[in-house]
Amino acid sequence: MRDRLIQLACVIVFACGAAISGAFVPNLLQQATTEGLRYTADPVEGAPPIIVIGTAIGALRGLLADYLWIKLQAQKDQGLFYEAMADADLITKLQPRFAEVWGFHGHNMAYNISVLTNTPEERWAWVNAGIDLVRNRGLRYNPNDLGLNKELAFWFSHKIDGVSDDAHLYYKREFAKEWFYILGSPPFDQVEREKWMRAIANAPDTLEELENKNPEVKTLINELTAEFAPFDKQFRFKLDKEFLINLGKWMAVKTSPYAKILNLEKKFKASDPIFIAFDRVLSKPDQQAGLNALLPFLRKRALIDDYNMNPTKMADYTRDYGPLDWRHPQAHAFYWSKLGAEQGEARYGAPDNAYKVMNNDRMTIQAMQAMNHSGLMAIDPFSNDNPTRLQDNRWIKSIEKYFLQLYEKHYGSRGAGGDTFCDFHENFMSQAIRQLYRVGDYAGAQEILEHLDKLYGRGGLIPNDKYEKSLEDFVRDATYGEYDMVPDVARTDVYAVLQRGFREGLLMGRKKILDESLKFAKDLTDYFQGNRYTDFVNKFGEKRMADLVGDIRRSVEDVLIALLRDNNQPLFDRLTIYNRASEEQRRMVYDAVKDQIATELKASPLSEAMPLSAALPEPPEMEAYRALQAEAARVRKESLDNQNRSETQRK
């Protein structure tokens, strides 16, 4: 009897336990889904075999991952970064949906391990590896994880575009070159830039579809395959990222001023079999149609397969938010934070999590602010110079519009809500007044000043007279002391003043304005580079902060090239600026702008009145100038090679 009572009690306990656990299961499953602890609805194709084995382990898999995670944290605290890598890698294989470990693993590579290396090349390899791990693997397993998107965006913003790493200038050069080879140079106009990106997004998804739509592509591929056939296996023809980068290099050689100065085409034809193969096939006029159809397809596949990026989203963001240039790290910071907001915010609906969404939105608008300061880019991949990064005032209206969206979005959030973005908005728009004033857009600057007075001045919640002053007085007060605190502002002011000087001084004949602009730029450059806070050299031989400004000669060259290439301005006006510039200034820019001006002139009625030689005459002593430039490039390359050899020997 006693045994039967015990059995009955056990059955009752079991039934109650089953009922209670059954009641909790839906909530537990919902929480697991919310926290990303379950597999997503979209399975990842090609998962490694160990993931299948780990899944079969069941609950033990979680216990093993927990043990490794605790061990990994201890290794991090002890500075055992390489050892932590192995355990982090194992956790990602056992629990690929554990987003936090992907972030830890990538951060460990990009930050902790990279700074232990001895050369910029080694550092860049580790930074790239950390980014690629999260972008191309972690986010494929966890596409809806807002935190992982924000972490990746931060690395682009802080590690590559920031200035805290001694090798940051090297990162910027290599990043811009890579994306120049992948996507090329985008059109200046935002509408044209969106169309350019949209053409990539709308390219066929498969090679078969492309060849059916464009038979000339098949002919082109057959010829390229035949050219690559004699190569070793590692150089065999394959339409992948490496092929696209080599194609991008071949195209760059044809247009690069430095390639012409250094006679690289002749050198590559004599020594580079891949370049020779491309040149034999792609230089044929009858292959241009095939190349024009193949290129968007290759770029689309590389973006999707090698960078886990959505070309349609890239085109949409360009259309809706601003002139994104994918050679700029902040464009990628914007992309990943914005994508994270769109795909992952649903998981953070609880009021206690509002700050996570808000912090990610701050990352997005801060990336827009950075592109306002330096988003107008140009790069010659063969120069070894830092990319040209000019301020792009087109972002001012975009940021104003996006601020209003964020203010409305977070108005009811816990804490200050939308008001947390007001300080950013007020500070940014105050800087925008100075930007527009420096380039001579007095009406635009005055409009913003009056707008701020209504929002934060006499029309603010607590009325004050902060903005009740003349435009000139406000600009002077806003600029005071800012150069030391925010070095980037010094560079943008140099470029802005030079832009105004060339436009008004040369185009409108106001020599005094040009002289004042050149003097201001020179004085500010001298002050900034001689400032005791910025005039120190890092272990790679570069001035970590001062080299952001560069010397005045480089600034003049960058700004004048950007002005002459800006096809938003009338061609005749740009030709006027060129012909009124000094001989030295014309020598600086002639090779860089000649091809574009020639193309524009050919399509312009001006070509009937003047040949290129009259519209854009070659400056005197140009051959001697090219020789000096070639020698300077050779010396710089030799210096870099010697430096790299010394670093290698030290290791």
In which band, very low, low, confident or very high, does the pLDDT at 548 lie, cut at 50, 70 and 90? very low
The β-bridge partners of 376 are 390
- The pLDDT tens digits of the residues spanning 583-600 come to 999 999 999 999 999 998
Which one has a higher pLDDT value, 2 or 145?
Answer: 145
In which band, very low, low, confident or very high, does the pLDDT at 366 lie, cut at 50, 70 and 90? very high
Please give the structure tokens belonging to residue 219: 């002919």
Closest CA to 330 of 389, 371, 391: 371
Side chain identity at residue 318, one-letter code: T
Q: Is residue 223 classed as helix, strand or coil in its secondary structure?
A: helix
Lowest mean pLDDT among 149-153, 367-371, 408-412, 413-417: 413-417
Give the whole-number percent of the chain exceeding pLDDT 70. Answer: 77
- The pLDDT tens digits of the residues spanning 192-251 come to 999 999 999 999 999 999 999 999 999 999 999 888 887 766 666 788 999 999 999 999
Looking at the chain, how many residues does it have? 651
Q: Is residue 117 classed as helix, strand or coil in its secondary structure?
A: coil
For strands 388-390 and 376-378, give the pairing: antiparallel
* Rounded Cα distance, 494 and 488, in Å: 10
Backbone angles phi, psi at 375, to 5 degrees: -85, -5
Closest CA to 344 of 506, 502, 179, 147: 147
Side chain identity at residue 29, one-letter code: L
Residue 354 near residue 375 (C-beta atoms within 8 A): no
Neighbours of 434 (CB within 10 A): 22
Instruction: Please give the full DSSP string across 450-519, using - where no structure is assigned.
Output: HHHHHHHSTTSSS---TT-S-HHHHHHHHHTTHHHH-HHHHHHHHHHHHHHIIIIIIIS--HHHHHHHHH
* Rounded Cα distance, 340 and 150, in Å: 7
The β-bridge partners of 618 are none
Please give the structure tokens belonging to residue 473: 């007085």
Please give the structure tokens belonging to residue 22: 């059954």
The whole-chain average pLDDT of the chain stands at 81
| pTM of the predicted structure, to 2 decimals | 0.74
Distances, alpha carbon 494 to alpha carbons 10, 40, 117, 431, 592, in Å = 83, 50, 35, 14, 21
- The pLDDT tens digits of the residues spanning 300-331 come to 999 999 999 999 999 999 999 999 999 999 99
The gap from C-alpha 484 to its chain's centroid, in whole angstroms, comes to: 25
Closest CA to 297 of 180, 227, 214, 191: 214
Please give the structure tokens belonging to residue 647: 């670093």
Q: Is 141 left (phi over 0), alpha (psi -120 to 50) or beta?
A: alpha
The gap from C-alpha 265 to its chain's centroid, in whole angstroms, comes to: 29
Helix (H) or strand (E) holding 389: strand 388-390
- The pLDDT tens digits of the residues spanning 556-566 come to 888 899 889 88
Residue 548 near residue 531 (C-beta atoms within 8 A): no
* Rounded Cα distance, 574 and 558, in Å: 15
Q: Is residue 113 classed as helix, strand or coil in its secondary structure?
A: helix
Closest CA to 299 of 367, 217, 205: 205
- The pLDDT tens digits of the residues spanning 59-116 come to 556 666 666 667 767 766 777 666 666 766 776 776 777 788 888 888 888 898 888 8
Backbone angles phi, psi at 377, to 5 degrees: -110, 155
**CA-based torsion, 608, 612, 616, 621: positive or negative:** negative
- Classify each residue of 51-79 as buried b or exposed e, where b means 16 or more C-beta atoms within 10 Å of its C-beta: beebeeeeeebeebbeebbeebeebbeee
Listed by start position, the domains of the chain span 1-34, 175-325+364-479, 486-568, 626-651
- Classify each residue of 320-348 as buried b or exposed e, where b means 16 or more C-beta atoms within 10 Å of its C-beta: ebbbbbbbbbbbbbbbbbbbbbeebbebb
**CA-based torsion, 358, 360, 365, 369: positive or negative:** positive
- Which range, 52-66, 350-364, 478-492, 526-540, has the best average confidence (pLDDT)? 350-364
545 Cβ contact list (under 8 Å, min separation 6): 163, 487, 533, 534, 536
In which band, very low, low, confident or very high, does the pLDDT at 519 lie, cut at 50, 70 and 90? confident
CB-based burial label for 350 (10 Å; 0-12, 13-18, 19+): exposed
Please give the structure tokens belonging to residue 180: 């120049």
- The pLDDT tens digits of the residues spanning 391-420 come to 888 999 999 999 989 888 887 776 666 777
Among the residues of 566-582, which ranges form H helices?
Answer: 571-580
The stretch 9-14 carries a mean pLDDT of 66
The stretch 4-9 carries a mean pLDDT of 67
Angle at 347 between CA 345 and CA 353, to 5 degrees: 80
For helices 395-409 and 422-438, angle between their N-to-C axes, nearest 10 degrees: 170
